[in-house]
Structure 1
Amino acid sequence: MKVTEAEIGAVLAQFNPWWHGEPPAELPAWRRAAFGELLGWLRSPPAPRAVLLSGARQVGKTTLLLQAVQALLQDGVPAANILYATFDHPILKLAGVEATLQAWREREPRADGPEILLLDEAQFIRDWGTWIKHQVDFRRDRRIAFTGSAMPLQAGEGVESGVGRWHTIRLTTLSFHEYLQIKRLALPELPMPPSLQSLFDWDAAEFRRIGQRAAPYVGHFHEYLVRGGFPQTALIDSVTQAQRLLREDIIDKVLKRDMTALFGVRRVLDLEHTFLYLCLHDGGLLDMTDLCNNLQVKRPTAQHFIELLQATHLIHRLPPFGYGKDVLRGRFKVYLADPAIAPAVMLRGKAMLEDPAALGVATETAVLNHLVGRQHGQGIRFSYWRGRRDPEVDLLAQAGHELLAFEVKYRARHTGARELRGLRELCQSRPVARAYVVTKALDDFGPAEGVPAAGADRPTPVMRVPAPLLCLWLGAAEALAGDGPLFA
């Protein structure tokens, strides 16, 4: 089927109103933490590479590109040199990228300066990896940013030859800090610690003062767990409507449309059942035997489905601590990409907030996403630890030679030594620099009794940090510095 240049040009004119003197479509005033990094690459690339914005559907990739257009126009970049095109549009998908670029240049003659190409949903470009490689190698007059919500962008044909041709910016769901910014809530200002380690220098009065000032944040944190970190649903008044919209995006658009179009999945119902199983076991050890028996699928099929769900940014897989055979023989823990996904898919409304176990799982998922999802590219290795008799530590972060431990204890009673059996056993077998216990109550905040450490003169220091504060600070750190300095 042939698409005419006039048809392509008409579509591009709708997407690029700045060509005829109009600003981009109305954009939110708030900006994701990744905005500064993206704009820096478009203004003055530190290396001859394209930029890949990767992330799930509805996390704000398109908005980020259009905000970059707005900033570039304000910098004085000629409007004719900026192209935005989304390749999930049927006309552009049929036309292909070269015909799209030709129609652009026929309509808008080039001005002085580099060309800026912003290509949305680039996984629909035929042989996208080879095309990007060619552009980076031979068209140094072009700066390219492209997005993908499904990751054949990381494991498709032509990708190996494209290594070193693009810089990846991983866009997760909203942090708690970003969620509060979007909601424009008037809350008491809280100090931003330069690092989590600096909390050990605070005195008791400071912990009490911050805990009291943080009281208004708790209700919003619970609302965040229910609504999740998707900008569109965060702004909808009705929780039920927000959950229905999120469920539609995941089930109908990702599982049924993207999986079929991009990965050729035919057994969509089995894939959906696999995802529902994971929603019911969020944050748990992945028992492949139980999954296969329950869903009546073969192990290779289930394993393939798990990999596809990770490729479309719907789940995280957390490996066991160790190396080589320890990891190969161990079981992964599986977390959803956002704490609101499970209640949205199951249409539970706010019922999760009345279920202590479900609330604890959602909090653990939020903490993991704030830690793991926001340290991409920082050389930090994340895992969980499990002892011989099943004591467990939820999350380990290995940064260089330093090992940090995180335990989520989101429960009404204060955290004591009895609740930290797994952490005590870990510290007697591994050199842990510091441990953080993520708590629920705002007065369950401050240093705890150190855990005896094998072969060390001093116990491993332990800090209790309420979950709303930890997530707030991790998100604010990302917004301030682009990457999380709280591990400094």
Structure 2
Amino acid sequence: MLIKKRDLYLHQLIAYRDTPLIKVITGIRRCGKSMLLELWKQELLSSGVPAKNIIHINFESMQFDNIRDYRALYFLVEKQLQSTRNYLMLDEIQQVIDWQKAVNALMVDKDIDIYITGSNDNLLSSELSTLITGRYVEIKMFPLSFKEFLDFKELEKGLSQQENFDSYIKYGSMPAVSSLPLDGQVIANFLQGIYNTVILKDVIQRNVVKDTMLLESVLHYLMQNIGSLFSSKKVSEACSIGSRKTNLEAVEEYLYMFEQAFVIYKAEQFDIKKNLINPNLAKYYIVDTGIWHAILGYHALTTSVLIENIVYLELLRRNFEVFVGKLDSKEITFIANRHDLQMYVQVMATCSDETLLTEKLASLKEVNGTSKKLILTLDCDTLPTIEGVVVKNVLDFLLE
């Protein structure tokens, strides 16, 4: 089987190879984590590592169904170890009870380089810090970027880049979608299955959620209000039914659960003039616009909101920490911080509205400093830099 490359993540694994760190690959189910381990296995083999020195265990396979506790895992691996450097890949490790005890012990006892994947709250940054303290690096994996989508998808000849982007927005970025017929109902059924698996398995069952109706109401509210700034209190009020008031603490727990399952991502508001984060206000974005369409239907929301969602995820892929900017009464879509770069980004579907374009430009001009200032829009080509602000077509940005 031909496996498409995910170079963004493969390069990270190459950089961390043979370091004394456990490589932890996290992300929503079906975003390509198992595929990445297969790619990594091929990379190791091509670099001269003997096949017998590579141990690959996928806990979703019936072959390993009996391995459900850390002792069984430790002894299974120990039997296969060679006298020279070993490479261990553990796929969907959360299936094993107290898996971290086996992984920590193997790191201490054996000459081994370890790579693990998982899809839920057992493999979040907040949990990892207590499970494998100081011994890991997290590689956060997302569904396909637009550039990867073009590489994966068997695209019809003669389609424009814009038409391909329309498909990307509508059908989403899960790798398996590229192998499905370009049929809305077929793809919707597949994505609905992912949604149900994540909600029912990774959220409801693992967190023993009792009020499942409220949990789904919270998620639907988030999906219907992508790109809107609100507080958890507002979510709670919106999900109250008649005289039945929703418990604010429960809503905050559910929001956190969805983040843990990589269903939603949170961008907090940052007040530029006060130089501080407002912990009470945030925007939420969905991991995949295809899932959004599959759940809410194939109808137009506002294109600008879905583009904003896609740009937000792209910034995360590029290792930026992303906030929503506040400048007095004005908003800057994103403040993106990375160790080597800070960007202020405005996202708008069209630049034909001169009044809106002027407002977006004005807010960026007010920002002091030497940070990069960028307007991303869909319906015009890159324009000359205007007083330090670059206006760029969003497709050009996504394909950089």
- Does the TM-score normalized on the shorter chain lie above 0.5? yes
Matches of residues 58-457 of structure 1 in structure 2 within 5 Å?
Answer: 58-89=30-61, 92=65, 95-103=68-76, 110-139=81-110, 141-154=111-124, 159-160=129-130, 162-185=132-155, 216-237=160-181, 238-250=183-195, 252-296=196-240, 297-322=246-271, 326-328=276-278, 330-348=280-298, 351-352=299-300, 357-371=301-315, 373-376=316-319, 380-389=320-329, 391-399=330-338, 403-411=342-350, 413-414=351-352, 416=354, 418-425=356-363, 427-428=365-366, 430-431=368-369, 433-443=371-381, 445-450=382-387
Which secondary structure state, in structure 1, belongs to the residue aligned with residue 322 of structure 2? strand
Match among 377, 392, 395 for residue 468 of structure 1: 395
Contact 2:70 2:100 in 1 (8 A): no
Which secondary structure state, in structure 1, belongs to the residue aligned with residue 269 of structure 2? coil
Matches of residues 37-48 of structure 1 in structure 2 within 5 Å?
Answer: 37-41=12-16, 44-45=17-18, 47-48=19-20
In structure 1, what is the equivalent of residue 243 of structure 2? none
TM-score (structure 2 length as normaliser): 0.88
Which secondary structure state, in structure 2, belongs to the residue aligned with residue 302 of structure 1? helix
Structure 1 Cα separation of the partners of residues 43 and 339 of structure 2: 37
Contact 1:393 1:423 in 2 (8 A): no
The Cα of 1:161 is off from its aligned counterpart by 5.7
Structure 2 Cα separation of the partners of residues 36 and 387 of structure 1: 37
Larger Rg: 1
Contact 1:83 1:117 in 2 (8 A): yes
Structure 2 Cα separation of the partners of residues 61 and 425 of structure 1: 40
Contact 1:51 1:166 in 2 (8 A): yes
Contact 1:55 1:148 in 2 (8 A): yes
Contact 1:340 1:362 in 2 (8 A): no
The Cα of 1:264 is off from its aligned counterpart by 2.7
Change (3 A) 1:93 1:266: farther
Q: In structure 2, what residue type is equivalent to 1:382? A: V
What's the C-alpha RMSD, in Å, of the aligned pairs?
2.8
Higher relative contact order (CA 8 A, sep 6+): 1
Structure 2 Cα separation of the partners of residues 439 and 149 of structure 1: 33
What's the % identity of the aligned pairs? 21
Which secondary structure state, in structure 2, belongs to the residue aligned with residue 95 of structure 1? coil
Q: In structure 2, what residue type is equivalent to 1:470? A: F
Cα displacement string for residues 440-460 of structure 1 (whole angstroms, at most 9, x for unaligned residues)? 1243x212532xxxxxxxxxx
The Cα of 1:366 is off from its aligned counterpart by 0.5
The Cα of 1:112 is off from its aligned counterpart by 4.0
Structure 2 Cα separation of the partners of residues 329 and 155 of structure 1: 19
Cα displacement string for residues 280-302 of structure 1 (whole angstroms, at most 9, x for unaligned residues)? 01111134333212322211111
The structure with the greater share of residues assigned to strand is 2
Moved over 6 A (4+): none
TM-score (structure 1 length as normaliser): 0.73
Contact 2:25 2:118 in 1 (8 A): yes
Structure 2: segments with no counterpart, 5+ residues: 241-245
Which secondary structure state, in structure 2, belongs to the residue aligned with residue 37 of structure 1? helix
Q: In structure 2, what residue type is equivalent to 1:182? A: F
Which secondary structure state, in structure 2, belongs to the residue aligned with residue 306 of structure 1? helix
Cα displacement string for residues 395-436 of structure 1 (whole angstroms, at most 9, x for unaligned residues)? 11234696421111112x535364342552454354363321
Structure 2 Cα separation of the partners of residues 153 and 282 of structure 1: 26
Structure 2 Cα separation of the partners of residues 39 and 331 of structure 1: 38
Change (3 A) 1:233 1:421: same
Q: In structure 2, what residue type is equivalent to 1:300? A: E
The Cα of 1:103 is off from its aligned counterpart by 4.1
Change (3 A) 1:158 1:407: closer
Cα displacement string for residues 240-259 of structure 1 (whole angstroms, at most 9, x for unaligned residues)? 21122112111x21111122
State the number of aligned residues.
Answer: 392
Structure 2 Cα separation of the partners of residues 410 and 420 of structure 1: 14
Structure 1: segments with no counterpart, 5+ residues: 1-25, 189-214, 451-460, 474-488
Cα displacement string for residues 315-348 of structure 1 (whole angstroms, at most 9, x for unaligned residues)? 1111112489942454011111222221122232
Contact 2:74 2:102 in 1 (8 A): no
Structure 2 Cα separation of the partners of residues 280 and 398 of structure 1: 27
Which secondary structure state, in structure 1, belongs to the residue aligned with residue 214 of structure 2? helix
